Amino acid sequence: METLVLLEQNVQQLLEQYQQLKQQLASLEEENLRQREEIIASHAEYQKLKQEYNKLHTAHTILLGKDATDEDRIKAKQRITNIILQVDKAIESLTQ
């Protein structure tokens, strides 16, 4: 009879531990989700800042004129060409 009582106590302890672990898992899953959302937001901000940097770099290269390196001039020209193509596509889509 005593072993049955001990077995019931052990089962009860296991159930309590299971519930605690279940709650801990739920908490960790919530934290994981929050951090994933934070990473996504940080990545979006990084992309936005990267685009802004490229725009500023292009403008700076244009302002430098003769003092800009050949590589900077080529990159600036490519960026301007891409911008023109995007504007052309936008105008074309608006006229359709």
Token pair for residue 94? Answer: 């608006």
* Tens-level pLDDT at each residue, the chain (96 residues): 888 889 999 999 999 999 999 999 999 999 999 999 999 999 999 999 998 988 888 887 777 776 777 787 788 888 888 888 888 888 888 887
- The residues near 76 (Cβ < 8 Å, ≥ 6 apart) are 57, 58, 61, 62, 68
Q: Where are the domains of the chain?
A: 2-95
Q: 68 — phi, psi (to 5°)?
A: -75, 150
